[in-house]
Amino acid sequence: MTTHLVGTGSESAAQRFAAAWILALRITRLNLRARLEYRAEFLLTVLTGLVWQTSILVFASVLLVRFPGMGGWTSPQVLLIASMRMVSHALFILLFGRVLWITGLVQLGSIEAFLLRPLPVYRQVQLSMFSVNAIGDLLVAATLTTMAVTRFDLPWTPARVALLLAGLLGGLLVEAAVHTAISAFGLHLGGTVYWSNWTEELMATFGNYPLNILPKVAQAALTYVLPIAFLAYLPASLVTGQTQGRAVPGLVVALIPLVGLGAFVASRLFWNASLRRFQGVSG
């Protein structure tokens, strides 16, 4: 049996789309097998995701216990923010997480090889390895979401569930957009890894709380400069109906999936433009 990796030009768009996904899944399966070659490292990487998310969770729990009633939000509602951020982050790592390794790929000279192959470079970056830590992230995220959903103090109506799902999608796209934009710089500057690590830390630290507890200037910075508010706080405000001190109009919050999609498309265009100027830094 032969598989046609490159289109002959006569297939429909649907066939090409399906072929691209089949190829992506096959490469992902191979990547997973490659990571499984180092069994201990594989398990440790799963553990990395678990430990990282758990440590953030412990931090958030400690603050919740010591300082209840943050910004008018009840503890189950704050828990919902934390769980939404974890789910969208875990999905980001699973689907787009390789952009965080862009400087490493540039150092290894992988981008030059990607440019020679008949697949979009961004897609090849995403298929360059399997993010094993996403498994750990998803495990913690699923556990936390179960806790948050069962302890939630408002009824789960279909509308509220739809808002939750839309918020998760928006958060995922916004995070992907931010890191894709940063990785566009990573194609040229090795030091970009500082920025992506730092941004990830800020998102992990400040993405779990109702940001209306912060002064207006900090809230504005975390909304319009680094859009951490869009990851979970604003979507959760829609689910919970908590609008006290919210700095963003309700209409914008309601359109978060579209905002996220727009931001992601813009970041991809920026990434492509950056790639056209790629010169390579490796030997």
Binding residues for another protein, per CB under 8 A?
A: 38, 40-41, 44-45, 47-48, 51-52, 55-56, 58-59, 62-63, 66-67, 69-70, 103, 107, 133, 189-191, 193-195, 198, 201-202, 205-206, 209, 213-215, 218, 222
Distance of CA 130 to the CA centre of its chain: 15
Which among 211, 64, 88 is positioned nearest to 138, based on CA atoms?
A: 88
Q: Which is nearer to another protein, 118 or 215 (CB)?
A: 215
SS3 state at 125: helix
Q: Which is nearer to another protein, 47 or 258 (CB)?
A: 47
Kindly state the DSSP code that residue 245 receives in the 8-state scheme.
Answer: T
Q: What's the rounded Cα separation, in Å, for the pair 93 and 259?
A: 20
Q: How far is the CB of 194 from another protein (least distance, A)?
A: 6
Q: How far is the CB of 48 from another protein (least distance, A)?
A: 5
Q: How far is the CB of 214 from another protein (least distance, A)?
A: 5
Q: Is 129 left (phi over 0), alpha (psi -120 to 50) or beta?
A: beta
Q: Which is nearer to another protein, 66 or 276 (CB)?
A: 66
Q: Which is nearer to another protein, 175 or 200 (CB)?
A: 200
Per DSSP, the chain holds a count of helices (H) and strands (E) of 13, 0
Q: Which is nearer to another protein, 96 or 206 (CB)?
A: 206
Q: How far is the CB of 35 from another protein (least distance, A)?
A: 11
Q: How far is the CB of 58 from another protein (least distance, A)?
A: 6
Residue 83, C-beta contacts closer than 8 angstroms, at least 6 positions apart = 141, 144, 145, 147, 148, 149
Q: Tokens at residue 177, please? A: 């957009």
